Amino acid sequence: MENSSLLFFQLAPWLVFLPVLGLLINLTIGVKLSEKGTGAVAAIASGLTFVVASLLVYSLVRQPEGTVVPLASWIHVGTLTIDWAFRVDTLSATMMLVVSGVGTLIHIYAIGYMHEDVRFKNDLGRYRRFFIFLNLFIAMMMILVSGNSYSMLFVGWEGVGLCSFLLIGFWYDMDTLGRPSFANSDAAKKAFIANRVGDFGFLMAAFMMFWKFGSTNFTEVFAKVTSADPGTILWITLFLLLGVAGKSAQIPLYVWLPDAMAGPTPVSALIHAATMVTAGVYLVSRSAPIYALSHDAQYIVATVGAVTGLFAATIAVAQYDLKKVLAYSTISQLGFMVAAVGMGAYVAGMFHLITHAFFKALLFLSAGSVILGMERGHHHLAHGHAEAHGTEVFNPNDMRNMGGLRKQMPVTFWLYVAGTLALQGIFPFAGFWSKDEILADAFKEFPHVYWLLTIAAFLTAFYMGRQIWLVFFGNPRSEVAKHAEESPLIMTAPLMVLAFLSVFGGLLNLPGVDTLTSWLKHTFESVGVAIEPGAFNLNVALVSTGLALLAIFLSWWLYLRKPLVAGQIDPLKKLFGPIFTGMENKWYVDEGYQFLFVDRYNDLARFLAQKVDWDFWHEWFHNSIIRDGFVGLTRFLADPVDLGVVDKISHVLADAVQSSANSLRKLQNGFVRSYALSVMLGVVVILGYLLLK
Amino acid sequence: MVPLNYYLALSAILFSMGALGILIRRNSLIIFMSVELMLNAANLSFVIFARQWAANSASVFNGQIFVFFVMTVAAAEVAVGLALIVVIFRSHQSIDIDQLNNLKG
Amino acid sequence: MTGELILFLILALTAIASAAGMLLSRHAVYAALYLVLNFATVAVFYLILGSPFIALAQVSVYGGAIMVLFLFVIMLLGAEQIPAEIKWKNILPAVILGLALVGQTLYLVFQKIAFSNLPLENSVAEANPTHLAKSLFSTYLLPFEITSILLLVAMVGAIVLTKQEKKGGRG
């Protein structure tokens, strides 16, 4: 043990406190701050979080076994003890570094992006809210990755879900093109509900852990899981997989992620590409000791990941929306990661997670830059001749409107190319190393996963090539594209950092050097999971690189040999026809879900509302039984009982009194002598009574 | 000495005849006379009882004094009663008691 | 049968007969005169029973003052007779009640009351008016005075009731 005064583990709670502090500042005195000030506060809070994460990593280098920093007691009920503690080990520190690092860059980028966004319209309240949400997201993500138990992890898990919901629906009163609509808030709700399904699985897994092991603490669960029966382990892992599928957008719950592109582009980059959606991968890595005990679970997870990887890649091929392509690409790449961690290649999965965070954030942010460039062009044009563009709604996300942007936006172009090459897995970019490590592991462990992922990688290279050709090469297919403008430095500077990372990220875990492997080894081996250095397979690398190059060539052949002109049908559609249409329409999964779940749910809701609630409860039970019964009872009480008995009694009494009064009134006839006769009668009667007594 | 019971019987008969007079006559003056007859019969009873208790010197005159008071009251009653009859006759032009039936319900 | 009893019977019959006469006479003046006879007969009974003062008061107050007042009113009003005064159909309940009352009282008198029939002490009887006056003005002084007020009130009342209001007068 080294001198502990040099270690910074005790700073771990500041990972959460700093972004919370940032959001509190913006929340309270943010009204006084300018636009730049608001963004600066949020970015500085995030940046300080990155500093703390770096210090933790520095401490971990000195003391790789890590530590647990307790902060507060949370739930103490019976035998259940859940505390808020920060687990600082190499795995969580890696995530912290990625989240805070990429997060900080995106914060900086967002300062410029949100200012430029045409939907912003100088609404400072929204601007501030955006950064509050971003800081909240960083805090929640930190809780997620630093949690010491599944319960704490779930807090962050739900927290980031909430932030995701809030930020997808950030432009809640419009659709993606800025028209008044509920489309964005619908997308947010879709994301939230799809995540609920996943969260159900997570909760069930946590409940089973508590039921079987009496704790949700990582250490205790991992210690007891080795003696658990296989059924329990399988159920826990499958329920966890459901949670992973929700959060990391795997089949069958991936449908929310493409719609999540309704949020601002920095959000798409940060939450829906780089960090939050990888929480599922992190969860599986964290639960490695459980998954390691069940080969079936590993098989299922790997297959789900691989199938998702291929499935999403096919859809990405036929999308026209710039961000939708990236969204399906993200799903596909998440499939790679899930497949990797499913196979037990945790390091490869984490490696791909990191590099993906770099290049996908870069791609999204560059795409945002492109979109803003298009919007600036549109703005420019609209000022030139307003009447021509008065009614027509221009979609700046549509690749069919782009083309030739290389000349207008050179910086963005080169950044985009760097990200694209990394994603396509071209040597020596970051993606090449991480993807090949996964493929090599798959080749060794699960051949079917390897084949699925290889095809997915081929398609990845193809759709990214298609995107590059369509966006940046050829001739502008719209007036707007001709007038697109480059983005300011505040946006491109973070991109340059990300581009650097995308190019050189592979250095983290070069075959033979295995920096990341030995780094993460500490964590995994401490919980009894053996880690082998990633096997570099030259054949696999050559095949995948060759396929990638082939795909790029094919895309060039199709899209640039004869550059597309405005209004032209996608050349791929001529080749594949119905298949392309299926891909274009996302294989009708949304429609299927609509038919299978949404419509059924609506039918059920309508049935419950109309038949059960209205017809049965309201009309029948309430009206017929209660109301009519009450009316009948009251009528019975009123007519036969009240009128018939009670009133009859009083009427009889009244009539008796009246008739007797009538007859007695005759006595009161005013004739004095008759009164005297009565007195006389009384005298006689009383006297007779006295005499006879 | 005639038994006092006989006197009392006479008193009772006279009283009853007075009462009968009230019941059967319509002339208010005669009714009034019947009332006097009843008072008289009652007075007779007082005197009879006074005679009975004469041996007891302490209460020897109580009965007679009652008779005296009754006579006084009767005199006052007659004075007022006849005045009333006069007033009634003035308003109704009759002393028929059956026409004085305003006291009916 | 002693002479005293014969006297009693004669007087009693006279009293009853005169009462009946008053009861049945259609003419009010006759009725009044029968009543005077009745009062006189009763006054004789008072004398027999040892109450000379009461007997004289009876004759003077009743037979004199009151009955004169009656006759005076009868004459004054000129309403001696009322047509069909006694409706014989209607008097049956009254007669029955009257007979019942007589029967009850006779039963009471002869079955329930036992008199000692002491002979009258002469001293007491002779000293009667003196003692009566003494008693009246000592023991019964307050009722006596109240009686005088009663008579005054009756007199005033009679005057007020019968006073004719002059037209336009102040009443």
Residue B15 has phi, psi (to 5 degrees) of: -60, -45
Q: Is A3 helix (H, G, I), strand (E, B) or coil?
A: coil
Q: How distant is the Cα of B11 from the closest Cα of chain A, in angstroms?
A: 16
Using CB atoms, pick whichever of C97, C107, C108 lies closest to residue A680: C97
State how far the Cα of A367 lies from the Cα of A467, in Å rounded to an integer: 11
Verify whether the Cβ–Cβ distance A673 to B101 is below 8 Å: no
CB atoms within 10 A of CB A119: 17
From the list A118, A572, A590, A594, the residue with the least C-alpha distance to A372 is: A118
Rounded to an integer, the average pLDDT of A221-234 is 89
From B33's Cα to the closest Cα of chain A, the distance in A is 15
Q: In the beta sheet, which residues pair with residue A70? A: A85
pTM, two decimals, is 0.66
- Residue C14, pLDDT score: 93
Mean residue pLDDT of chain A comes to 87
CA atoms within 13 A on the CB side of A456: 32
Cβ contact A321:A258 at 8 Å: no
Segments making up each domain of chain C, as ranges: 1-81
- Identify the three-state secondary structure at position A486: coil
Q: Give dist(CA A173, CA A126) in Å, integer.
A: 12
Residues of chain C with Cβ-Cβ distance to A680 below 8 Å are 94, 97-98, 101
Identify the CA nearest to A264 among candidates A168, A375, A333.
A168
What secondary structure letter does DSSP report for C171? -
Q: Would you call A677 an interface residue with chain B, using a CB distance cutoff of 8 Å?
A: yes
pLDDT of residue C41: 92
How would you classify the pairing of strands A80-88 and A67-77?
antiparallel
List, in sequence order, the alpha helices (H) in A610-671: 629-636, 647-667
* CB of A365 closer than 8 Å to CB of A307: no
Residue in A closest to C97 by C-alpha: A681
A147 DSSP β-pair partners: A86
Residue A138 has pLDDT above 90, yes or no: yes
Arithmetic mean of pLDDT, C120-137: 68
Residue A2 is predicted with a pLDDT of: 47
Q: Tell me which residue of A324, A315, A281, A288 sits closest to A99, measured CA to CA.
A: A281
Burial of C166 (0-12, 13-18, 19+ CB in 10 A): exposed
- Which residues of chain B neighbour A673 with C-beta distances below 8 Å? 22-24, 26, 31, 97-98
Cβ <8 Å between A670 and B22: no
ipTM of predicted assembly, 2 dp: 0.88
- The string of pLDDT tens digits covering residues A519-543 is 888 888 888 888 877 667 888 888 9
Q: C3-24 and B28-52 are packed helices; what angle lies between their axes, rounded to 10 degrees?
A: 160
pLDDT tops 60 at residue C119: no
For residues C38 and C57, give the distance between their C-alpha atoms in angstroms, rounded to a whole number. Answer: 15
CB-based contact (8 Å) between C100 and chain A? yes
Q: With 70 as the cut, is the pLDDT of residue A544 above it? A: yes
Q: Which residue has the tokens 């006779």?
A: C106
Output phi, psi for C139, to 5 deg.
-65, -45
C137 to chain A, minimum CA–CA distance in Å? 36
Which of 32-91 (B) contact A at CB < 8 A?
none
Residue A242 has pLDDT above 90, yes or no: yes
Residue A328: pLDDT over 90: yes
Helix/strand/coil for A413 = helix
- Interval A316-331 mean pLDDT: 91
So what's the pLDDT on residue B37? 92
Distance (Å) from the alpha carbon of B58 to chain A's nearest alpha carbon: 31
Q: What is the secondary structure of A210-225 as a DSSP string?
A: HHHHS--BHHHHHHHH
B26 touches A: beta carbon within 8 Å: yes
Number of H helices, E strands in chain A: 30, 2
DSSP string, chain B: ---HHHHHHHHHHHHHHHHHHHHH--BHHHHHHHHHHHHHHHHHHHHHHHHHGGGSGGGTTHHHHHHHHHHHHHHHHHHHHHHHHHHHHHHHS--BGGG----B-
Tokens representing A443 are 């080749």
CB pair distance less than 8 Å for A688 and C101: no
CA-based nearest residue in chain B for residue A661? B105
CB neighbours of residue A448 within 10 Å: 13
Residue C118 or residue B25, greater confidence: B25
Give, to the nearest 10 degrees, the angle between helix A90-116 and helix A346-384: 0
With a cut of 50, say whether residue A402 has pLDDT above it.
yes
- Tens of pLDDT, residue by residue over A22-52, are 999 999 988 888 888 889 999 999 999 999 9
Query: From CA A472, how far away is CA A227, in angstroms rounded?
Result: 58
Q: Name residue B96's beta-bridge partners.
A: B27
CATH class of C1-81: mainly alpha
Q: How far is CA B71 from CA B53, B79, C65, in A?
A: 21, 12, 11
Please give, rounded to a whole number of angstroms, the shortest distance from the CA of C60 to a CA of chain B: 11
pLDDT tens digits, B16-59: 999 888 888 888 888 889 999 999 999 998 888 887 776 555 55
* Amino acid present at A624: S
Give the pLDDT score at A620: 84
Contacts of A687 in chain B (CB under 8 A): none
The pLDDT of residue C88 is above 90: no
Cβ proximity of A423 and A460 under 8 Å: yes
Is B22 within 8 Å of A668 when comparing Cβ atoms?
no
Who contacts C153 (Cβ-Cβ below 8 Å, separation ≥6)? B76
Strand partners, A68: A87
So what CATH class is B4-99? mainly alpha
Q: State the CB neighbour count (10 A cutoff) for residue A605.
A: 11
pLDDT tens, A589-646? 888 888 888 888 888 888 888 888 888 888 888 888 888 888 888 888 888 888 888 8
A420-424, A435-439, A563-567, C108-112 — which is least confidently predicted? A563-567
Looking at mean pLDDT, say which of A14-28, A110-124, C67-81 comes out highest.
A14-28
Q: Which phi and psi (to 5°) does residue A398 adopt?
A: -80, 120
Query: What b/e sequence results for A70-92 when a residue is b if at least 16 CB atoms lie within 10 Å of its CB, and e otherwise?
Result: ebeeeeeeeeebbbbbbbbbbbb
